[in-house]
Amino acid sequence: MNSANPDDLSLTLQQNLRTILQENQRLAEQLDYRAVAALVPRLQQAERIFVVGAGRTGLALKATAMRLMHLGLNVFVVGETTTPAIQASDLLLAGSGSGTTSTIVKAAEKAAAAGALVVAISTTAASPLGALAAQVVLLPAAQKQDHGGSLSEQYAGSLFEQAVLLLMDAVFQTLWALDGTPAEELWKRHANLE
Is residue 1 included in any domain, yes or no?
no
CB neighbours of 154 closer than 8 A, spacing ≥ 6? 19, 20, 23, 142
**Looking at residue 82, which CATH number applies to its domain?**
3.40.50.10490
157: left (phi over 0), alpha (psi -120 to 50) or beta: left
Q: Is 194 a domain residue?
A: no
Q: Is residue 90 part of a domain?
A: yes
Kindly state whether residue 178 falls inside one of the protein's structural domains: yes
Whether the pTM exceeds 0.85: the reply is yes
Count: domains in the chain: 1
Write the pLDDT tens digit of every residue in 20-38.
Answer: 999 999 999 999 999 999 9
What CA–CA distance (Å, rounded) separates 73 from 186?
A: 11
Residue 78 lies in a domain: yes
Q: In sequence order, what are the residues at sequence separation of 6 or more whose Cβ sits closer than 8 angstroms to the Cβ of residue 111? A: 50, 86, 90, 92, 94, 117, 118, 132
Is 120 among the domain residues?
Answer: yes
Query: Per the domain annotation, does 85 fall within a domain?
Result: yes
- What are residue 163's phi and psi, to 5 degrees? -65, -35
**pLDDT, tens digit, 9 for 90 and up, residues 75-112:** 999 999 999 999 999 999 999 999 999 999 999 999 99
* Full residue range of the structural domain in which residue 156 is found: 6-187
Spatial distance between the Cα atoms of 160 and 170, rounded to a whole number of angstroms: 15
In terms of pLDDT, which residue wins out, 188 or 173? Answer: 173
Query: Among all residues, which ones are annotated catalytic?
Result: 161
Task: Note the pLDDT tens digit of each residue in 115-153.
Answer: 999 999 999 999 999 999 999 999 999 766 665 667 788
Residue 192 lies in a domain: no
